[in-house]
Structure 1
Amino acid sequence: MTKPCIICVAITGSVPTKADNPAVPTAIDEQVESTHAAFEAGATIAHCHVRNEDQTPSSDPERFARLMEGLKRHCPGMIIQLSTGGRSGAGRARGGMLPLRPDMASLSVGSNNFPSRVYENPPDLVDWLAAEMLAHDVKPEIEAFDLSHIVQATRMAADGRLRAPLYVQFVMGVKNAMPLDREIFDFYIRTLNRLAPDAEWCGAGIGAGQILMNEWSIAAGGHTRTGLEDNVRLDRNTLAPSNAALVRRAVELCEKYERPVASWQQARAILGLRAG
């Protein structure tokens, strides 16, 4: 298989802290350093959250601006993808960083259950976030936690609320949401190919399922996500020493399935992004 595989590294997230793994980068300088090592290891998308000084999640545009500045300086060409997730803010505050014009931003187009709460994405907020991404030339990464999210994303592309071609990430393994299941995963791929044949897709597995989802995605010809946001361990008994270590595992799987790892230039071309 000759199609290059884009590796996304989710460097921080909103949940894991240094108490879970000291390697989790929460300060901006740590995030830049960790991302640079992951970029050198083969990641070409940095999925970014920011934290307050006490490690709690934040949606502060000023923090995002400082992170973007550092990443552009130390990881030239890398695709910067900012999170509009609901753990770090409420309502339109979740999209307050979009005027910074990152290359990409996450977009959840529907609600679902999380381990201890409902991840709320009401239609009016989804439409506003999508409109802001169109206005600022930010490509959405559709985070699909459920089959209905894939269907909704294709509807939004059909009526112009999202710009095609889509980039859809299948998120599997979140407790109380979609489990890591091979038949469901294969059905996701078939459904997206049927409804949006020009779309690109990525697989993200949470916790222990991360490495399995990496392998399924790479073997099936898609792209994949790894990183300390989703999984702080290499295995049950070993903490991951860095984001780069998790990226290197994905690179090894690309080698196993004879997939070239996408360079940042190739990744931008595949996703139709402006030049870095």
Structure 2
Amino acid sequence: MSNPCIICVAITGSLPQKSDNPAVPVSIEEQVESTQAAHEAGASIVHAHVRNPDGTPSSDPERFARLLEGLRKHCPEILVQFSTGGRSGAGHERGGMLRLKPDMASLSVGSNNFPTRVYENPPQLVDWLAAEMAAHGVRPEIEAFDLSHILMAHRMWQDGRLRDRPYVQFVMGVQNAMPADQEVFDYYVRTMHRLFGTDAPWCAAGIGRHQIELNDWAIRAGGHVRTGLEDNVRLDRHTLAPSNAALVAKAVTLCERYERPVATPYETRAILGLHQPVVA
């Protein structure tokens, strides 16, 4: 088995509501159950947000602690990645959960446009979040909404603000940000190889109808993928996804098409340079 493909499932996000798709998990219990099913389907990383009881986004560390406790109990092998995104909080509030020491956390290193607003990631906040992740042993995943974000990740690695070689995720298809463009995607891959080495792991996420498209491009090109109801609530144009696990299953089918094994949590940790859990 060579070049296993990591599948990350983004189970909830900040925006999708049950009115968009009843399968969107909102409560802690729903998120744990959805993650367990997605893990059994092939996901080795869960990208997690938390919500208030009314479904609005939250950055409450206590909610993250409850979610982490549930995930560790019911899905002990899966790698847990917390979101430090800007829709659920502002300033240092965005990183208040890092002290819980999840395996990973998302890190946006620059600003860009979103559909109705500017996604602000000022340099001082980026540096603080990176420092908090380093202090608590949390592996960043760089969310690159623009080419400049890949270049910034390289600069931060070179000057020591990022301790480890960056694991970069290309996010494509966000309205008013980088579209899902095959030539741009190919250039991103070449840029990763040039800056970080041909063996540097990277992944890609497509938003909405572009999810399966980006899954296909990334798996075929040797990268890793993100799927899940945060980014896309449909199996196809006419069918709502019945679960996060169903979207993971589509990514697994692509892995089979391109003859790439699905990475286990153990292999995922090895690929990303993370410590293996201690077995009692």
Normalised by the length of structure 2, the TM-score is: 0.98
TM-superposed deviation, 1:193: 0.8
| Equivalent residue letter for 2:242 | P
Q: Distance in 1 between matches of 2:94 and 2:49?
A: 11
Distance in 1 between the 2:212 and 2:53 partners? 31
Alignment partner, residue 7 of structure 2: 7
CA RMSD of aligned residues (A): 0.8
CA distance, structure 1, for counterparts of residue 165 and residue 122 of structure 2: 23
Instruction: In structure 1, give the amino acid aligned to 2:94.
Output: R
What residue is the counterpart of 2:202 in the other structure?
201
How many residue pairs end up in the alignment?
Answer: 276
Q: Structure 1 vs Structure 2: percent identity of aligned residues?
A: 74
Checking the alignment, whether the CA contact within 8 Å between 1:167 and 1:199 is kept in structure 2 is yes
Q: Superposition pairs for residues 131-150 of structure 1, below 5 Å?
A: 131-150=131-150
Is the 1:168–1:199 contact (alpha carbons within 8 Å) kept by the matching residues of 2?
no
Residue 119 of structure 1 corresponds to which residue in structure 2? 119
Cα deviation digits, residues 95-153 of structure 1 (max 9, x gap)? 00000000000000000000000000000000000000010000000000000000000
Poorly superposed stretches of 4+, deviation over 3 Å: none
Give the conservation status (yes or no) of the 8 Å contact 1:2–1:258. Answer: no
Equivalences for 1:109-188 in 2 at 5 Å? 109-188=109-188
Which residue number corresponds to residue 241 of structure 1? 242
Counterpart amino acid of residue 132 in structure 2 = E
Gap regions ≥5 residues in structure 2: none
Matches of 2:208 and 2:263, distance apart in 1? 25
8 Å Cα contact 1:167/1:201 also seen in 2: yes
Distance in 2 between the 1:242 and 1:127 partners? 36
Could you tell me which residue of structure 1 aligns to residue 67 of structure 2? 67
Distance 1:89 1:203 in 2: 24
| 1:76 shift after superposition | 1.4
Give the SS at the match of 1:4.
Answer: coil
> Structure 1: how far apart are the matches of 2:220 and 2:264?
19
Q: Which runs of 5+ in 1 are unaligned?
A: none
Q: Aligned AA for 1:179? A: P
TM-score by length of 1: 0.99
**Distance in 1 separating the partners of 2:77 and 2:161:** 28
